[in-house]
């Protein structure tokens, strides 16, 4: 039996999934680098999210580790339940712990998608985001490569991460945008893409929904998640945690709001 989805459902990449998703960025070592200190706990958190709490939208990226979390997902959840959406991202390289650099070279993007397919052990990435638009590479070339991979059946739906309304409009001239993933929380509380996505019926996936660092640790999850969910039914927050107890608190916060 599949648990009821926390905070209700939303359709992303053609699939009804839980509106409360789970971000996997914290399931690595410090600086989003290398393996987590406790690998078994990381695997347990992933299983808890899906099998205990009914979260069916898991967000990851090849840059988390790099590669670490995609391996963890396969270990924890493969064979994947039919109702589960695993979204990943390509287009970011990791020179060192805590360092991030966009890399939109089409050859690199293709190699990254092929590698994510192998790590996740799937024939198609259901939802693949361009992690960042690389300002040093032609935007046309980056988007065209993802469209080519979509035509080849290696990507199901294409999403955009950390983009402006102008970026979204540009891509929409060619093909649909399945989801937009930008930072949104009670501190970073304004993003013009929120209204645009609402008007165009594009799911808006809010990353870092609980804030960051000391701010996130100083407040419980209830108030920031309730604020996010009140911004519109197209908003899908993806809080991240490495601790089973904290995940329980996150889910309880949105379930209490529904009650």
pLDDT score of 204:
98
Residues tagged active-site: 64
Question: Distance (Å, rounded) from C-alpha 30 to C-alpha 66?
Answer: 12
pLDDT score of 124:
98
pLDDT score of 16:
97
Domain covering 9-258 assigned CATH 3.20.20.100 in the classification? yes
pLDDT score of 214:
46
pLDDT in tens, 16-72: 999 999 999 999 999 999 999 999 999 999 999 999 999 999 999 999 999 999 999
pTM (predicted TM-score): 0.96
Domain ranges across the chain: 9-258
pLDDT in tens, 118-135: 999 999 999 999 999 999
pLDDT in tens, 56-114: 999 999 999 999 999 999 999 999 999 999 999 999 999 999 999 999 999 999 999 99
Residue 105, number of CB atoms within 10 A of its CB: 17
- Phi and psi at 14, nearest 5°, equal 75, 10
Quote the percentage of the chain above a pLDDT of 70: 96
Secondary structure, 3-state, the chain: CCCCCCCCEEEECCEEEECCCEECCCCCCCCCECCCCCHHHHHHHHHHHHHHCCCCEEECCCCCECCHHHHHHHHHHCCCCCCCEEEEEECEECCCCCCCEECCCHHHHHHHHHHHHHHHCCCCEEEEEECCCCCCCCHHHHHHHHHHHHHCCCEEEEEEECCCHHHHHHHHCCCCCCEEEEECCCCCCCCHHHHHHHHHCCCEEEECCCCCHHHHHHCCCHHHHHHHHCCCCCEEECCECCCHHHHHHHHHHHHHHHC
């Amino acid at each position: 039996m599949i648990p009821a989805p926390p905070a209700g459902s939303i359709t992303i990449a053609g699939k009804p999934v839980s509106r409360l998703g789970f971000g996997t960025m914290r399931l690595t070592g410090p600086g989003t680098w290398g393996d987590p200190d406790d690998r078994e706990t990381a695997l347990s958190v992933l299983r808890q999210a899906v099998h205990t709490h009914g979260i069916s939208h898991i967000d990851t990226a090849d840059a988390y580790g790099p590669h670490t979390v995609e391996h963890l997902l396969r270990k924890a959840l493969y064979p994947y339940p039919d109702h589960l959406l695993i979204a990943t991202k390509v287009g970011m390289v990791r020179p060192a712990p805590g360092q991030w650099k966009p890399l939109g070279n089409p050859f690199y993007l293709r190699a990254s998608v092929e590698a994510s397919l192998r790590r996740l052990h799937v024939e198609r990435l259901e939802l693949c985001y361009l992690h960042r638009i690389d300002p040093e590479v032609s935007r046309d070339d980056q988007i065209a490569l993802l469209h080519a991979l979509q035509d080849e059946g290696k990507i199901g739906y294409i999403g955009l991460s950390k983009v402006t309304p102008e970026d979204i409009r540009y891509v929409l001239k060619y093909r649909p945008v399945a989801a937009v993933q930008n930072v949104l929380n009670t501190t970073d509380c304004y993003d013009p893409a929120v209204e645009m996505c609402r008007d165009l019926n594009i799911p808006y996936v809010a990353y870092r929904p609980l804030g960051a660092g000391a701010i996130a640790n100083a407040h419980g999850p209830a108030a920031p998640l309730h604020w996010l969910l009140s911004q519109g039914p197209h908003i899908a927050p993806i809080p991240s945690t490495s601790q089973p107890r904290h995940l329980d608190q996150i889910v309880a916060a949105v379930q209490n709001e529904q009650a």
